[in-house]
């Protein structure tokens, strides 16, 4: 693990990143159980072992802001980004109870500026900030770009009847159809989950996700009761679709899912997502569909009645990084043509 960079606001001091043993770094970056799941050291250890760091801001010995990141590339071309299987990262700011809006916003801006200033030198930076981070002005003022993207969120899970009424008519029909043919079960068969999940990528001509990385994350989430893995079976014990939801104390996230391309007409994907919402509403107040800028996926998520929530993709690159990324993008387009 890479060591923690820390800032003390009175007066501020900055420590740059240095490679240290993984256990020491994890122990030095404490997180409260109330912090977002993607900021938890155990999550980062699972998805990016030995390659992550964090800048923190302290006041009076208490951490009030944190910005984790994954380090990729050689020292001469270091990129600060977010780990795989982690849809959102960005700055976390401790809430200030009872503060007026103007004061709270001013404090958030100051803390974001300190986090950005504490980042180690790098050729590039890119992360998706959570939708609850409404502004990234200090990063923009420091020369970063902020691209607007969207997710969908159900922010009131208290009434199952209201959630059902909020579904589009075609989704309700898909769910009813699937219920006549399929059963939904929670399970722990990671090999079977990965086999079905990978088919979605293969149908799109993409490489299947890393099974070992998924196994590390599943083990970490399973130990903490932070995930739900769902399977839709038919009477022949064929798996039509799978869904994987993770959660912290505030929000459940539809992290991944997929289906067997040969069984796509059964309605299993709609049924599983509905069941994921139903089952997680017992323990959290918010369900996040984890967004997509792909039109067919966006239409599917929108049909579940969530509120469209913008989030920011924040990035910065020096000239060498811009040129290298352009070359890589051109090579990828060429490979797709052949």
State the pTM of this model. Answer: 0.87
Per-residue pLDDT, 42: 96
What's the rounded Cα separation, in Å, for the pair 119 and 170?
Answer: 47
Residues 186-231 pLDDT 10s: 999 999 999 999 888 887 777 777 889 999 999 999 999 999 999 9
Q: What is the pLDDT of residue 27?
A: 45
- Residue 84 Rama label (left phi>0; alpha psi -120 to 50; beta): beta
What residues does each domain of the chain span?
A: 5-150+311-337, 156-305
d(Cα 107, Cα 64) in Å, to the nearest integer? Answer: 10
Q: Which of 166, 176, 124, 208 is nearest to 304 (CA)?
A: 166
Ranges under pLDDT 50 in the chain? 1-3, 8-9, 11-25, 27-28, 334-336
The label of the residue with tokens 């122990």 reads: 27
Topology of domain 156-305, CATH: Aminopeptidase (3.40.630)
Q: How far apart (Å, rounded) are the C-alpha atoms in residues 92 and 76?
A: 28
Q: Is the dihedral of CA 192, 194, 197, 201 positive or negative?
A: negative
For residue 153, the model assigns a pLDDT of 96
Domains 5-150+311-337 and 156-305 share a fold: yes
Fold held by 5-150+311-337:
Aminopeptidase (3.40.630)
Confidence at residue 203, expressed as pLDDT on a 0 to 100 scale: 75
SS3 337: helix
pLDDT single digits (tens) 66-88: 999 999 988 888 999 999 999 99
Give the mean pLDDT of the chain: 86
Instruction: Report the pLDDT value the prediction gives residue 22, as an integer from 0 to 100.
Output: 43
């Amino acid at each position: 693990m890479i060591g923690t960079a820390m800032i003390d606001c009175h007066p501020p001091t900055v420590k740059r990143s240095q490679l240290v043993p993984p256990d020491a770094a994890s122990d030095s970056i404490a997180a409260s159980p109330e912090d977002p799941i993607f900021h938890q050291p155990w999550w980062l250890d699972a998805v990016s072992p030995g390659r992550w760091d964090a800048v923190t801001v302290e006041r009076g010995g208490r951490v009030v802001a944190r910005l984790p990141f994954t380090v990729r590339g050689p020292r001469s071309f270091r990129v600060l980004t977010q780990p795989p299987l982690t849809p959102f990262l960005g700055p976390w700011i401790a809430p200030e109870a009872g503060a007026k809006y103007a004061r709270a916003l001013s404090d958030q801006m100051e803390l974001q500026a300190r986090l950005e200033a504490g980042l180690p030198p790098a050729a590039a930076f890119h992360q998706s900030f959570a939708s609850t981070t409404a502004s990234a002005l200090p990063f923009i003022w420091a020369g970063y770009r902020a691209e607007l993207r969207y997710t969908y969120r159900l922010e009131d899970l208290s009434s199952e009847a209201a959630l059902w009424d909020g579904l589009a008519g075609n989704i309700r029909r898909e769910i009813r159809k699937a219920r006549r043919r399929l059963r939904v079960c929670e399970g722990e068969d990671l090999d079977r989950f990965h086999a079905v999940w990978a088919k979605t990528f293969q149908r799109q001509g993409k490489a299947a996700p890393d099974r070992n990385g998924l196994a590390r994350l599943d083990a970490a989430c399973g130990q903490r009761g932070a995930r739900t893995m769902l399977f839709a079976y038919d009477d022949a014990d064929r798996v039509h679709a799978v869904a994987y939801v993770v959660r912290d104390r505030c929000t459940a996230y539809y992290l991944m899912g997929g289906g067997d391309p040969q069984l796509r007409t059964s309605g299993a994907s709609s049924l599983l997502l509905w069941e994921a919402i139903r089952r997680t509403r017992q323990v959290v107040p918010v369900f996040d569909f984890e967004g997509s800028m792909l039109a067919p996926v966006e239409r599917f998520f929108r049909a579940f009645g969530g509120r469209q929530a913008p989030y920011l993709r924040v990035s910065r690159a020096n000239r060498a990084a811009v040129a290298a990324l352009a070359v890589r993008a051109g090579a990828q387009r060429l490979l797709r043509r052949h």
